[in-house]
Amino acid sequence: MRANTKLHTFRSLALCGLAAASLGFAACNGDIGEGGMSPGGPSSGNGGTTGGGATGGGPVSTGNPPPVGGNTGAGGTVALDSGRVSIDRLNNLEYDNTMRDLVGFTGNLAQSTFQPDEKGDFDNTADAFTINDARYEQYFNTADTIGEAVFADATLKAKILTCAPAAPVSTDACTRTIITNFGLKAWRRPLATAEVDRLVTLANEAATLGETPENSIKHVVKTLLASPQFLYRIEYDSNPASLTAHSLTPYELATRLSYLIWSSMPDDTLFQLAGSGQIVNDTNLTGQVDRMLADAKGATFTSSFAGQWLGARDMQSHQVEPTAFPKFDDALRAAMITEELDYFNEFLIGSQSFQKFFTYDVNFINTRLATHYGMTLPPGTGTGTAKVNNTADTRVGFMGLGSFLTFTSFSYRTAPTLRGKWVLLNLLCQTIPNPPANVPKLDAGGATDPGLQSQNVRVRLAAHRAAADCATCHATLDPIGLGLENFDAIGAYRTKYENGDTIDSSGVLPPPGNETFSTVAQLANILSAGTHLQQLTDCASEKMMTYALARSLTDADDPYLTQIRTTWAGQGYSLRPLLKDIVLNDTFRFRRGEM
């Protein structure tokens, strides 16, 4: 009994104590300290880059002359600021994916049971993340749970125990090998000798308390899974107060790339390229983008980045009032989400120009969505999804997708103001002023009120715009949404409101363009030309760069964003070249300290 009590106490102290004192947590409250941590581990293979990147320790322009402004460097040249990413905690999706790829555990515990992620521009924005006692307790307990589950499964355990550990643990070569190899993957970099020594000491302490050599390693695995180096993506500055940019280590670069595309840790190929230093080569780096997108895990980039940017995640939780739309169900919801992500992939995996995002006339439909749209599936489709080019209907481009039309509506009726605002904010990156205070609610009744469900929304909004303090904003927000009124609040085509009024989908965009339209196709063409088209492609580059860097962009990023946009303009505007341009850019490959 006494021995069991000692072992139970040891398990708790090992997980918390070693993570705190030896591995860098200040106590167990989530504060990152310097104690006992090697600055990045061995920097093997840290070579320069070729092509547009920089070599060695400072950024250079990637093919464009330095812009005016910024800090003046030696010889009067302008030193650009490549910026920095804060210590970045794994979000819940990244945590689950990393556990899957590291130890084979597929329980998705974080997404189903952890505290919800804080969210900045995206759910990977490092500066938005915090740590508290409850969250760390979740990490602590889950490390213990997963450690036990993995070592109870012979197949999963064998992936960690690549040799047979033996007593005495303190001098066992196999124990040291296992810790070294597993530590490399768990911390996403090689462990320093002193770090391996501390972990071997931990295993030896477990053995001293009666654990077998195998179970001694289990304690080490649990400790690594609760350590800050696992829970955080930590990039090191040799001089944290220096504003001089330095290149990421090959392992840091491989980790940035892996979490960008897969929301998970590097695989063996990326670790090998990092270990040899070849990851820093431009050709190798862009080649990995192609390989990773082609991998089954590449779908994570679409579901995470596009899912957040284009609203598919919003669609997952969007409420639809059953008294207004009794035919809406989860099967239709799922089909709409799949269509939206497939549509995005036409511009990422395919070669379609993003300039056609509003006008590309294809849909991705299964039986359920085909019925909803009034379309016919190609022969042989069966229960799957088919790509359909139906030019005979009025549905066109992204604004014709059922998902977009649904999550930008109220649960019981369309919301032209919300639809227009969403397009302006998310696809054209326009700044929308906040509404004035104490604006009276447009709909006074509840979602189940038949009168609200059937009303002529254009007439209702016209009355709302009669108020002087509402007119200016609504003149900007409403036209795009009113142009989509032929689609109801679950994206079905209609010509009349439920009250019998004929729908008028014509409109005039605000100055300076003052463009007029009477159909959705005309509206889509207007938004795909002139100033609007430039806003569309500029917005896409800004959104993807923000997601890739896991931080908000600042004015200092403008020169780099200009570099990316200039290069992308000569590449046909499909999204995969844009992703590669961002990965090659100095903002992705360099960092600096902070005063």
pLDDT at 104 over 70: yes
**Residue 79: per-residue pLDDT:** 67
Angle at 303 between CA 489 and CA 341, to 5 degrees: 50
**Which of the residue ranges 73-87, 154-168, 467-481, 576-590 would you say has the lowest mean pLDDT?**
73-87
Q: Which stretch of DSSP H or E encloses residue 78?
A: strand 78-79
The full DSSP string for 266-299 is: --HHHHHHHHHTGGGSHHHHHHHHHHHHHSGGGH
| Phi and psi, residue 363, nearest 5° | -135, 155
Give whole-number Cα distances, 579 to 128, 285, 543, 583, in Å: 23, 11, 11, 6
Statement: residue 494 has pLDDT above 80: yes
Which of 495, 493, 496, 465 has its CA nearest to residue 478? 465
pLDDT at 208 over 90: yes
In order, the DSSP letters of 174-188 are HHHHHHHHHHHHHHT
- Choose between 112 and 460: higher pLDDT: 112
The confidence score (pLDDT) of residue 440 equals 67
Query: How does the average pLDDT of the chain come out, rounded?
Result: 88
State the angle between helix axes of 92-103 and 213-225 in degrees (0 to 180), rounded to the nearest 10.
160
Alpha-carbon distance 312 to 349, whole Å?
Answer: 18
User: What does the pLDDT read at residue 74?
Assistant: 39
CA 505/CA 479 separation, integer angstroms? 9
* Residue 353: predicted pLDDT: 98
The mean pLDDT of 250-261, rounded to a whole number, is: 98
User: CA torsion angle for 214, 219, 220, 225 (degrees, to 10)?
Assistant: 130
Least confident of 44-48, 211-215, 249-253: 44-48
The 10s digit of each residue's pLDDT in 355-394 is: 999 999 999 999 999 999 999 999 888 889 999 998 888 9
Give the confidence band of 44 by pLDDT, cuts at 50, 70, 90.
very low
How far apart (Å, rounded) are the C-alpha atoms in residues 332 and 483? Answer: 24
List the Cα angle 126/292/339 in 5-degree steps.
85
Lowest pLDDT segment from 58-67, 73-82, 141-150, 561-570: 58-67
The model's confidence at residue 463, banded by pLDDT at 50, 70 and 90, is confident
Which tokens go with 279?
């990851």
Tell whether the model's pLDDT for residue 15 goes beyond 60.
no
Q: Which of 236, 219, 232 is nearest to 16 (CA)?
A: 219
What number is the average pLDDT over the span 103-112? 93
Q: How many CA atoms lie within 13 A of 569 on its CB side?
A: 10
CB of 358 closer than 8 Å to CB of 350 = no
Query: What is the pLDDT, as a whole number, of residue 469?
Result: 67
Q: How far is residue 125 from each of residues 86, 117, 134, 544, measured CA to CA in Å? A: 9, 10, 21, 13
318-341 average pLDDT score: 97
Q: What is the pLDDT of residue 473?
A: 79
Between 27 and 415, the higher pLDDT residue: 415
Cβ–Cβ under 8 Å, residues 487 and 493: yes
Least confident range of 6-20, 327-341, 427-441: 6-20
Q: What is the structure's pLDDT at 243?
A: 93
Question: pLDDT of 394-406, one tens digit each?
Answer: 999 999 999 999 9
Mean pLDDT over 464-479 rounds to 77
Does residue 500 register a pLDDT over 50?
yes
